[in-house]
Structure 1
Amino acid sequence: MKKQKLFLLAFALFISSTFAAMAQLQQPALSPAAAVSQVVGFTKISIDYSSPAVKGRKIFGEIEKYGVTWRAGANAQTIIEFSTGVNVGGKNLRAGKYSIFMTPTESGDWTVHLNSKAASVFAYMKDGKIDEEAVAKDDAVSFKATTERGGNTERLQYHISAHDNKIAHITMAWEGVKVTFPVDTQVDQKMEQFKSQF
């Protein structure tokens, strides 16, 4: 009888510890965190974002409506960081972090917003959607970006390329769309500044 009670107690402890371990195991994130970085010229460019999947849905024009500003990722805001000053959209930007927002259009003439506050996307929510006026107010720069259609990228991805090691090309690819914009890392200007000090 004593052995039976010990066995039952041990079994109960085993079951409870198993359930406790299972309770701590969480499901993988639906839009997992992702990051990409590249040194271009003297500048390290880093992008932190969440990577949602298409999962058979129509993304642009339905889930992300045309003409409505979108956080260019999922979960939290998408952040781009420059280790030195750069020129984007014809405007000089200081080193630092910026939130990326995008306004998709059916024609493919998308607007990219680099938001100077790098604030939480939820700071711009109004009535369940992004308040475009509030985003525009905090824009460090906004500009039109090149879009390309074709293929299918299941998970949202960002890429950084720099063929000449001076101009970086940032690409966001998702569903059948690629949005690309250049970032001038101002290598020649920085070299001139360096030379002028001697």
Structure 2
Amino acid sequence: MKKIIFISFMLFQSLLIGAQEKVQIRTTSASPASSFDQEVGSAIIKIAYSRPLVRGRKIFGELVPFDKLWRTGASDCTVINTSEDISFGKSILKVGSYSIFSIPSVNEWTIIVNTDTTLHGETGYDEKKDVMRFKVPTEKSPNFYETFTIELNDINSKGEAFLKIFWENTMVKIPIKSKEDDTILALIDQHIVKGKTQDATLLFQAANYYYSTNRDYKQAIEWLLEAEKLNPQNFYYPNLRQKLASENKDYPKAIEAAKRAISIADKEKMKKTIELLNHKIADWEVLLKK
């Protein structure tokens, strides 16, 4: 019995020692990898990059020297992929994947887009593979950024955005624009302006696009009036018209359009919508009395 206990004890000890020998303490990455996809208009833009930390160091002008090529991040080169041709800076970036390098200076950065996405840092960089270079001014970032950060934000209804690069107290912004806005405007010109369409849905869509992109509201109202002639019982046409007229501060036309929308909504028993529109009418009537 003692022999069995002894053997069991020795087996346990050997297993324990073996387990201890396999224990490893893994340190966190000095430059964590990151990636994201962002829809901008009709384009899908993907960014993959590494994020070095400040860690008490002076970054620009020391760790990242001024006026020298920089990988714009750490580890492997920063990569941008676009699903369609986009405006990047002031040039057209064709569909595909590219590396982003930069030359930081005190007051501006030179942004470099290169076709080689296989590079580790600046090693092997070939200027002949550049597809564009342009300058952007530096700005003071709104916050201190301990971690190198790339964001795609300030996206609007026209498919415009900014690629923003932050680190320490520095920020640079690169304007981006999808081709969606140009495509839609071309369709409006072809089918509505020149083609004089008799399609109420297309007229509404054009007016709604002008509304969402803050364009000519008077023209949008004209298209909606044409759409209402073609389809008098569509609630959405006068409802959008009251919004446009209100934005133009043309309250008499806003009231007329809202009342028209209410007459259609009443048939559909849209009680909450009717209540909201009646509140708007009351507010506009007060404004007209001032």
Answer whether TM exceeds 0.5 for this pair: yes
Matched length: 187
Cα-to-partner distance string for 1:83-141 (whole Å, 9 max, x where unaligned): 111122322221111101010002x211011112223135x527xxxx5xx2x321111
Structure label with greater radius of gyration: 2
Whether 1:89 and 2:80 are equivalent positions in the alignment is no
Partner of 1:4: 6
Bigger RCO of structures 1 and 2 (CA < 8 A, at least 6 apart)? 1
TM-score by length of 2: 0.59
- Distance in 2 (CA, whole Å) between partners of 1:158 and 1:89 is 16
Partner of 2:42: 42
Whether 1:114 and 2:113 are equivalent positions in the alignment is yes
Partner of 1:56: 56
TM-score by length of 1: 0.84
Partner of 1:178: 171
Post-superposition offset of 1:181: 0.5
CA RMSD of aligned residues (A): 2.3
Partner of 1:164: 157
Q: Which runs of 4+ in 1 moved over 2 A?
A: 188-196
Higher helix share: 2
Partner of 1:98: 98
Cα-to-partner distance string for 1:162-191 (whole Å, 9 max, x where unaligned): 133411200010011011111121223333
Partner of 2:244: none
% same residue: 30
* Structure 2: tracts of 5 or more residues without a match: 191-290
Partner of 2:283: none
Counterpart contact for 1:43–1:83, Cα < 8 Å: yes
Higher strand share: 1
- Distance in 1 (CA, whole Å) between partners of 2:108 and 2:173 is 11
Counterpart contact for 1:71–1:77, Cα < 8 Å: yes
The amino acid that maps onto 1:156 is F
Counterpart contact for 2:86–2:94, Cα < 8 Å: yes
Cα-to-partner distance string for 1:4-39 (whole Å, 9 max, x where unaligned): 23202212212212331x23x532211111123210
Counterpart contact for 1:84–1:94, Cα < 8 Å: yes
